[in-house]
């Protein structure tokens, strides 16, 4: 039987060919192309959920002043990046992040360990996003930018309203590399103005 066309396979092979650790690299490249003001040369950047490191690989090519990554899993080094292993809900990681001062840009491609139960996975995805928005009130500079991956579902709308209120400009964007992952999408916030809810 002929194998069904799967765009994820194409991105997987492309990532291998270009030396990226995961196809997520193409999601970020597509977002940076669509939102050219999101990231500037010399920005200080935090990447949450950085393992295996393809976002960090893309970010390090953009000449950041400072590049920090965090993940539950151990991430092999990426040039210019300072990487911490830990849970973003832990006090230890919060304190580590506070010690860097404010970031210009935060990206989060974090996803919960999926269970196959859509409502539960979506709930945990929103929980991760809420934590990032909460941390942002301490570590994202006013006017800074935030990218969040989120699973769409019942808890999406209230979170989206909160996200939108926190930025001058906010958009929902689904890159081609996310196409057949129907529940995931990205929120792009530019011009942080504080958590206003």
Ligand X SMILES: C[S@@+](CC[C@H](N)C(=O)[O-])C[C@H]1O[C@@H](n2cnc3c(N)ncnc32)[C@H](O)[C@@H]1O
67: tokens are 């590049």
Q: Which is nearer to ligand X, 11 or 163 (CB)?
A: 11
Q: Is residue 31 close enough to count as binding ligand X by CB under 6 A?
A: no
Q: Is residue 110 close enough to count as binding ligand X by CB under 6 A?
A: yes
Run of H or E including 8:
helix 7-18
Task: Pick the catalytic residue from 17, 34, 74, 149.
Answer: 149
101: tokens are 């001062």
Q: Is residue 111 close enough to count as binding ligand X by CB under 6 A?
A: yes
Annotated catalytic, 171?
A: no
190: tokens are 């530019």
Q: Is residue 60 close enough to count as binding ligand X by CB under 6 A?
A: no
Place of tokens 């994202």: 140
- CB 89, min distance to ligand X, A: 5
The window from 32-40, 48-56, 96-104, 140-148 that contacts ligand X (CB under 6 A) reads: 48-56
DSSP letter, residue 177: G
Residue 165-184 contact track with ligand X, rule CB under 6 A, x = bound = --------------------
| Binding residue (CB under 6 A) for ligand X from 26, 46, 53, 122 | 53
How far, in Å, CA of 84 to CA of 28, rounded? 21
Q: Which is nearer to ligand X, 43 or 184 (CB)?
A: 184
- CB 64, min distance to ligand X, A: 15
Q: Is residue 71 close enough to count as binding ligand X by CB under 6 A?
A: yes
How far, in Å, CA of 43 to CA of 64, rounded? 5
DSSP letter, residue 118: H
Task: Provide the H-helix boundaries in 22-179.
Answer: 24-34, 54-60, 91-98, 118-139, 156-165
What is the radius of gyration, based on Cα positions, of the chain?
A: 16
Q: Is residue 69 close enough to count as binding ligand X by CB under 6 A?
A: no
Other beta carbons less than 10 A from residue 64's beta carbon: 24
**Residues in contact with ligand X by the rule CB under 6 A:** 21-22, 24, 49-55, 70-73, 87-89, 109-112, 128
Instruction: Return the active site residues.
Output: 149
């Amino acid at each position: 039987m002929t194998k069904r066309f799967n765009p994820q396979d194409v991105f997987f092979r492309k990532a291998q060919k270009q030396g990226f650790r995961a196809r997520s690299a193409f999601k970020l490249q597509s977002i940076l192309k669509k939102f050219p003001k999101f990231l500037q040369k010399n920005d200080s950047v935090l990447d949450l959920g950085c393992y295996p490191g393809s976002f960090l690989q893309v970010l390090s090519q953009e000449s950041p002043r400072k590049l920090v990554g965090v993940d539950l899993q151990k991430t092999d080094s990426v040039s210019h990046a300072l990487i911490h292993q830990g849970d973003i809900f832990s006090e230890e990681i919060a304190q580590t992040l506070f010690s860097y001062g404010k970031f210009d840009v935060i990206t989060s491609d974090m996803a919960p360990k999926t269970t196959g139960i859509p409502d539960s996975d979506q709930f945990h995805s929103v929980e991760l996003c809420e934590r990032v928005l909460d941390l942002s009130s301490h570590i994202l500079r006013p006017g800074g930018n935030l990218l969040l991956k989120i699973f769409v579902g019942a808890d999406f709308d209230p979170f989206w309203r909160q996200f939108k209120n926190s930025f001058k400009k906010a958009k929902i964007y689904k890159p081609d590399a996310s196409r057949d992952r129907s529940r995931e999408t990205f929120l792009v916030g530019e011009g942080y103005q504080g958590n206003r809810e």
